[in-house]
Chains A and B, each alone.
Chain A
Amino acid sequence: MDVLTKNFSLYGKGFLGTVELTVYASVLALALGFVMASCRVSPVGSFRVLGTVWVTVLRNTPLTLLFFAVLLGLPRFGLVLPFQLFAVIALGCYTSSFICEALRSGINTVPKGQGEAARSLGMTFGQTLSTVVLPQAFRSVIPPVGSTLIALAKNSAIAGAFSVTELLGTYKTLSELGYNIIWTFVWIAIGYLIITLFISAVFNILEKRWGVAR
């Protein structure tokens, strides 16, 4: 018990680090996932190729490898950024490929006639997607997007191995200080639970509000 009370500021920093990583990377993943899903259903062939390559490469690369590539690779091309930002980029891009596919499966649940009706009225591809198809797709992608963001929160632990302040990384300091490893991890786990349960709760509310009525 006193692991937490005596090291509250250390836990707090780690917790905030994980929250920051999760929030920023989620925003990036949702934005990029949205763009890539639009690409994948676009009538323009080169956009479809871009979307497909993006998903194939990022979804099939181990996240740790991606972290190495971003943190060690980008500086070689002269791009030097804070480690936390690198971590957000790696996490965000990685997760965006899963978001993209969740969105695309949602788009596929919208009957084809909806898009045809919109197009037959003279709406452009962008208008059809944004005003007719995506609002209806959104309802059915709430659960899978929630799961993906929970996975992102937990994946953020990998950033700790690259000296970014986050929750799991606090165990190193604590075990060096000689605290009971079990209790150290129990409190870390509770920290993660707070974050993931919060995401679950948000998505439960979204689903109640906008989910598909049956």
Chain B
Amino acid sequence: MAVDPLIELRDVNKHYGKLHVLQGINLTVGRGEVVVVIGPSGSGKSTLCRTMNRLETIESGSIAIDGRPLPEEGKGLAELRAEVGMVFQSFNLFAHKTVLANVSLAQIKVRGRKKEDADKRSHELLDRVGLASQAEKLPAQLSGGQQQRVAIARALAMDPKVMLFDEPTSALDPEMINEVLEVMQQLARDGMTMVVVTHEMGFARSAANRVVFMADGRIIEDRTPDDFFTNPQSDRAKDFLSKILKH
């Protein structure tokens, strides 16, 4: 597995005060792979996702993206983050800017594209996520599902090598979850490398190449979705699955 590693975490540790939130994490994500991270609340899966573009610092171990270790600060870190798209649970669209400006801003500031070129690309991406008609609205005028699709378009506008999704559907009404998952499914089919922290088991089953199960700051299982859902090895995973798959 992982012939061509894009993200490599080696022996990553982190504490929040006394809580050892990441305990010796080793994880490799290959190019084009879709890795879904699941686990109970507080197991460290969001933290793990956020360390991959250093929104969370780590105490020991190493993280490399496409062979380059994550820089600690400054311009190098900014450049690397531009290669790593991130989608948040709370969307985090820039509240004072229109949908179009949200998608164009970083293209202009970070990639140095001309405004017309950036806007053209933004329109294409908004079209791709089905929101071409909403370009001039402010984020607050959109539904949650629409906002999250804009956030995906905004991340894609940087042409990232990998996309991180930190519980992208957890803040959405049930009827809006699917429109976001469909966009993500399409991305996965297009060959985007993705790390997805989610509680959507359906998405894990259908789109993931691998499922990583985390509990108490450790990776407990790391296997194909079929394997994991039909034949979990650890008691912790069995317990977790029995609780969520009953309904």
Contact = CB atoms under 8 A, between A and B. Distances in A.
B92 A131 contact: no
B92 A114 contact: yes
Contacts of A111: 90, 92
A136 B92 CA distance: 13
A123 B104 CA distance: 13
Given A43-B73, A116-B55, A122 B106 contact: yes
B142 interface: no
B90 A121 contact: no
Interface string B205-223: 0000000000000000000
B78 A119 contact: yes
B59 to A, nearest CB: 18
B92 A113 contact: yes
Contacts of B73: 43
Contact of A120 (B84, B95, B96, B109): B84
Taking residues whose C-beta sits less than 8 angstroms from the other chain, chain B's interface range is 20 to 34
A117 B94 contact: yes
Contact of A119 (B55, B93, B95, B158): B55
Nearest to B95: A136
A135 B88 CA distance: 22
B226 to A, nearest CB: 32
A138 to B, nearest CB: 9
A48 to B, nearest CB: 14
Contacts of A118: 94, 106
Contacts of A116: 55, 88, 92
Interface in B105-162: 105-106, 109-110, 151, 154-155, 158
A142 B55 CA distance: 30
A117 B88 contact: yes
Interface in B17-42: none
A111 B89 CA distance: 13
Interface of A: 43, 111, 113-114, 116-124, 127, 131-132, 135-136, 139
27 contacts: A43-B73, A114-B92, A114-B95, A116-B88, A116-B92, A117-B93, A117-B151, A118-B94, A119-B78, A120-B53, A120-B55, A120-B81, A120-B86, A120-B155, A121-B81, A121-B106, A121-B110, A121-B158, A122-B79, A122-B83, A122-B106, A123-B78, A123-B109, A127-B110, A131-B109, A132-B94, A132-B105
